[in-house]
Structures are given as C-alpha cells and as structure tokens.
Amino acid sequence: MNLQVLKLDFEKLYGKPAEAVFFSPGRVNLVGEHTDYNGGYVFPCALSYGTYLLVRKNNEHLLRFASANLDRREDVAPDKIGQPLEGDAWMNYPLGVMDQFKKKGINVEGLDLFYSGNIPNGAGLSSSASIELVTAVMVNDLFGGNLPMMEMVKMSQDAENQFVGVNCGIMDQFAVGMGKKDHALALKCDTLEWHAVPLKLDGYKIIISNTNKRRGLADSKYNERRSECEQALKELNKEGRYQTLSDIDFDTFNKIYERLSSEVLLRRARHVITENQRVLDAMKALENDNIQEFGQLMNASHVSLRDDYEVTGPELDALVEEAWKTEGVIGSRMTGAGFGGCTVSLVREDKVDNFINQVGPAYEKRTGLKPLFYIADVGDGARRLE
C-alpha cells in the first residue's frame, strides 16, 4: 500500500492534507476453530495486510466518510452517530465504534475520513474488525480517550454485536487490536486470559489461499453448530460442573461421552475438546521451536473440522488436499467459519512459487474456481503511524 498515493487521494477528495494516519491489521487464525463460542482457546496472529485511515478534523460539524475500496460515501452529523445507516453501509462499522465512545462520554466532532484497505474482501481475514479497531485507535488518539487497547477491543466487539447486528465472538477484534509482530496470540475466549507466543518462522512463510467460493452456508451452519454444542453440553453436564464445552478435558470426555444421545453430538463435542488440546499443543510446539509439529497440528485441525465438525466443504478440502501433496508444505488447514473462505498453509520459503504454481491449477481443475494466494507476514496490532 503506497501511503504517498493515499495522501494525494485524501487531498484531492477534501482539498486539504490529512493530519494523521492510522493502521489496523487483518488477522488469520492458525489453529483453534469454532472453539471461541464454546469458551475455548484460539491462536490467531495479526497480518501485514490491513486498513489505513487518513483523517483530519474539520470545522463543519460533519463526519465525512469515504473509502478507496467502495463507492458509497456519506456525511453524518455527529449528533446522529447512534443511528445506523440503511442498506449495506460499510460506515456502520466505524459509526458503531463512535457510538461506543459516545456512551463513555467521549464525543466525536467533525472529521474528514478516508479508509483504504488491502485485506482481500470476503476472504475471512476480518476486514470488519480491522475497520472497527482503526476507528477506535483514531478516536482514542484525537479525542483524548486514554482507553487501554483491551477496552477498545471489547467496544469494537460490542459495536459489531449491537450496532451492526453481527453476533461475532471476540477473537477477531482481539487479534487485530493486540497483535504483536512475529508472535501468535493464545486467547481463552471465556476468561480473556491471553499471552503472546513467539512465532519463529525461520525459512517458512504463511500463505493464505482464497477458495473464491462464496460462503453461502456459513451463517446457517454456524447457528446449527452453536445449538448442537449447547445441546451436547447439556447432555454431558449432568452434575452441573461445566460452564462451556471447553471446560471438559479430553480424559474426562472419554469417560462421559456415552451420555450423548447421538453420533452427531458426539462428533461436534469431540471436535471442540480435541481442538482446544491442539491449541495447547501448538503453543508448546512453538515454545520448543518445533515448527514441524505445529504444522502437523494444523493438518489434524483440518481433519477434525472436516470429519467431526463438518464445516469444510469440497472447495476447502480440495485446496487443503492439494497443499498437502506439495513439496515444502508442513501444514495446511481451513481458517474461519468454513464452507468457503480461506486456507492457511505453512510453506518453506524456497517452495512458495512452486506451491502457487502447483496448487492453483490443481484446485482449478477440481473445482472450476481460480484461487488467490497471499503471502503474509505477522505484524503488530492497531496503531497510529504518523
């Protein structure tokens, strides 16, 4: 992303130069999928892709929203911040965040705002959380909020839940806000306990591969899986000992799984419980500098998501299977909600071109879809640039 070009675009748009530039990354989850709403562990990292926000204060008592990526522009009076815009308005993400600040007595005044992102749209790398956090950091900086990052992470999740109306967990906003260069973040979603684990990728690259399959089933299946997990917890929790499925460790599960009334509930619960263990094992593998074992845990995660949780679908499976066949790949799995979206792979640096040249055509032959590939570095969280 060329910042000089963005500054020129801002000046063309608003007639004056930007006063400040902020950046917020996208994120990818390396292991720990569909565990967040079950109170479990996730293991994401922030990416070098993200959202830039150029801004200047104006004296016209207007919030002017514009984007380099989307045509729709809007002017909103600050006293209308609490009212969502109609239609598919991307401005509702920043407006929802501003509304959260307003509730804390931090009022936003007139601003010229120009958002520009290089996160691939619809790839499941969390462009919405990136927009929310870049807005939060900007408001906090320009209007004297003095709020800690974790507070802004929670406010951004509340904005998405309450204002935009998307019932997301906290992982996306957390990874985007708290990201640390060359580290993955281990987060326990029910307690918000977390720590950063060094991600030493010496000689390896993270490649995100987009299936380019629209995720039509993801929302309905997400709700279905949530209710299956709630039912499984109910049936396993006869003594009332567990708050979430993730409170049950693997040894305990092996003793009580016969309480479950169906094979389907058994498989759903087994995925959540084994996936939590995989995150703990992945943390240990990285702490012991064992990147090979980390890759094997990614592979095992995909198998569990495919067979026990059934959220992959033919496109994600094809992309992962072709990656597994390719020299230099130590791990590959789906990432995100499933039924389309992206895979994440760890690939030896000298085999990256070979990976793209081999996996791309093989996947296209199997599915008729052309995948897109993104080589990602692990970066810091949301911040002011200049």
Element (H, E) at 104: none
Q: Are the C-beta atoms of 18 and 163 separated by less than 8 Å?
A: no
Tokens 């929790």 belong to which residue?
A: 237
E runs forming strands in the chain: 20-29, 41-42, 44-57, 63-67, 74-76, 111-117, 183-188, 194-198, 204-210, 329-335, 342-348, 372-376, 383-384
The rounded Cα 19 to chain-centroid distance in angstroms is 29
Give burial (CB, 10 Å; 0-12/13-18/19+) of 151. Answer: middle
Catalytic residue among 99, 158, 172, 247: 172
96-132 burial string, b = 16+ CB within 10 Å, else e?
A: bbbbbbbeeebebebbbbbbbbbbbeebbbbbbbbbb
For residue 304, which phi and psi values (nearest 5 degrees)? Answer: -65, -40
Q: Minimal CA–CA distance to 325: which of 349, 355, 346?
A: 355
Task: Respond yes or no: is residue 172 known to be catalytic.
Answer: yes
What is the rounded CA–CA span in Å between residue 284 and residue 359? 30
Q: Minimal CA–CA distance to 176: which of 50, 64, 3, 66?
A: 50
CA angle 376/378/384 to nearest 5° reads 110
Structure tokens at 196: 């950063």
Ramachandran class of 312: left when φ > 0, alpha when ψ lies in -120 to 50, beta otherwise:
alpha
Q: Give the gyration radius of the chain's Cα atoms.
A: 21
For residue 118, what are the contacts with CB-CB under 8 A and spacing of at least 6? 1, 49, 50
Q: Are the C-beta atoms of 301 and 31 separated by less than 8 Å?
A: yes
Active site residues per annotation: 172
